[in-house]
Amino acid sequence: QILPAFAGISVFRWDINIRESTVLGLVGAGGIGLQLQASLNVLAWPQVTLILISIFISVLISEWVSAKVRHAII
């Protein structure tokens, strides 16, 4: 009985953690957000574009995976 609820919450938290990691990096916690901030500071626009595209793709993939898992649970 608890397995579907636990799996749903786990997938939801995983999805949120991917988004939060970028924000935490922007404030200095490391990760891709820190790289984005460093690229913005030196106005390296091609690098900024690549980082933003990679963030967008990772969010899209995580959304797709979480939707598949949620659909399989329900």
Give the tens place of pLDDT for each residue, 6-65.
Answer: 888 888 888 888 888 878 877 777 788 888 889 999 999 999 999 999 989 988 888 898
Domain ranges of the chain: 2-73
pLDDT of residue 41: 94
For the chain, report the end-to-end CA distance as a whole number of angstroms.
12
The b-or-e profile of 7-43 (16+ CB within 10 A means b, else e) is eeeebeeebeebeebbeebeeeeeebbbbbeebeeee
pTM: 0.76
